[in-house]
Amino acid sequence: MKVERIEVFLRSEKLVREFWMSLAPIPGAMEIIVRLTTDDGVVGIAQCHGMPQEPVAEILTKAMPAIVIGRDPFDYERIWDEMFTLCHYPGWKTKGWSRASIMTAIAGIDIALWDLMGKATGKSVAKLLGSYRDELPAYATGGYYEDGKDIAGLVDEVGVYVDEDGYDAVKLKVGREVGEDLRRVEAVRNAYPEIDIMLDANQGWDVPTAIAAAKGLELMDIRWYEEPVHWYDQVEGLRRIVENTTLPVASGEQEMTRHMCRDMIERSGVRIMQFDATKAGGITEWRKVAAHAEMHDVMMAPHHDPQIHIHCVAGVRNGLILESFPNPDRDPAWQDMYVGVEPIVNSRMTVPQGPGLGYDLNWELVERICSRHAGEPV
Ligand SMILES: [Mg+2]
């Protein structure tokens, strides 16, 4: 089996309204879809996520064919290393591609290779990775800052996730004015004393503010405290948070490599690692991060994309939980783009048993709403 063709589809749509994190709005419904076709007609799919999307598509269609076309997907480690060299002179230095864009493009190819390996063997990716669990917990992410939404509106929103959708764990946004954030979280805690509550500051605070917020939040039975400090202080800053709160600290969704995750795990003391296989490096890099995390008693709870990350989390011993976005206004792809994906019922998702990733895309929709890129080797 040899890879014969790389195609890329970009989805970029405005959401029906703005959902704000601490410092920035969600940029839209953004999907980079990669489709690999082999000489024996097997199709491998992937989704990856990077902004801006165009450089990622350019790397996938201009640089990746020279590395990937004609290759056996089972040589994935060798292929990965060759793709990784683009982060040095061939791509970063001479083409001006950012390393973040290159790592996202690697993710797209690598995940599609794993889908191909699963389809070639008739096994799910989770089975190839070790098949440690058959079912996983999932939580609902919501609680965004929205124009006109007050604390009562926030509690109502959580009520939909808990009472209608059946979730027993919900993640809320924090990271703005500390007093108001404490009131928001306290209101949800009082209304729903039985659920798990996670908090995500999306790197909104400096260290003293994040510590001050943590002191108030410690009284509210919080399951984890995610990305509390600004982007530039992700090791030493996080360490100071860890040393000054009893809240378990989570981070890692912005890290690009296993080396960055190594430093975060060893030096900051995070308890939950959120490395995102769709954003950087793919499944091959993710499982190395997971192995390193396991040796430090750190659990894996990857950012976004449960339809892909379920295989990763199910495959390793230190897999914890999946993130999901049940609000269709926030994540239209979860509602309209997947075919055969396992539903999340009562906060649980069954690990797919079908070959590869175990789901397909709604190609009619993809062809209709996405722009298509297919390039030649440079
Ligand atoms: Mg997050």
From ligand 1's centre to the CA of 140, what distance in Å? 12
From ligand 1's centre to the CA of 125, what distance in Å? 25
The CATH architecture assigned to 3-122+360-373 reads: 2-Layer Sandwich (3.30)
Share of the chain above pLDDT 70, in %: 99
- Mean pLDDT over each residue of the chain, to the nearest integer: 96
Dihedral angle of Cα 294, 295, 298, 299, to the nearest 10 degrees: 10
From ligand 1's centre to the CA of 155, what distance in Å? 20
From ligand 1's centre to the CA of 203, what distance in Å? 9
Which protein residues have their CB within 5 A of the ion that is ligand 1?
A: 200
From ligand 1's centre to the CA of 68, what distance in Å? 32
Q: What pLDDT does 237 receive?
A: 97
Dig out the tokens for 350 from the structure: 């069954």
135's enclosing H/E stretch is: strand 135-141
Residue 5: strand, helix, or coil: strand
From ligand 1's centre to the CA of 174, what distance in Å? 11
pLDDT of 322-340, one tens digit each?
A: 999 999 999 998 889 999 9
Sketch the domain layout of the chain as residue ranges: 3-122+360-373, 127-350
Whether 238 contacts 264, CB under 8 Å: yes
From ligand 1's centre to the CA of 201, what distance in Å? 8
From ligand 1's centre to the CA of 199, what distance in Å? 9
From ligand 1's centre to the CA of 225, what distance in Å? 10
10-residue stretch averages of pLDDT, the chain, 378 residues long: 96 95 95 97 96 96 96 98 93 89 98 98 98 98 97 98 98 98 98 98 98 98 98 96 98 98 97 98 98 98 98 98 96 91 96 96 95 72
From ligand 1's centre to the CA of 109, what distance in Å? 24
From ligand 1's centre to the CA of 235, what distance in Å? 16
Measured CA distances, 3 to 35, 39, 111, 141 (Å): 10, 6, 13, 36
Residue 40: strand, helix, or coil: coil
From ligand 1's centre to the CA of 172, what distance in Å? 10
pLDDT of 255-281, one tens digit each?
A: 999 999 999 999 999 999 999 999 999
From ligand 1's centre to the CA of 223, what distance in Å? 14
Whether 351 contacts 311, CB under 8 Å: yes
CATH topology of 3-122+360-373 equal to that of 127-350? no
From ligand 1's centre to the CA of 350, what distance in Å? 23
CATH for 127-350, options being 3.20.20.120, 3.10.580.20, 3.40.50.300, 3.30.930.10: 3.20.20.120
Spatial CA neighbour of 192 closest among 216, 211, 213, 165: 165
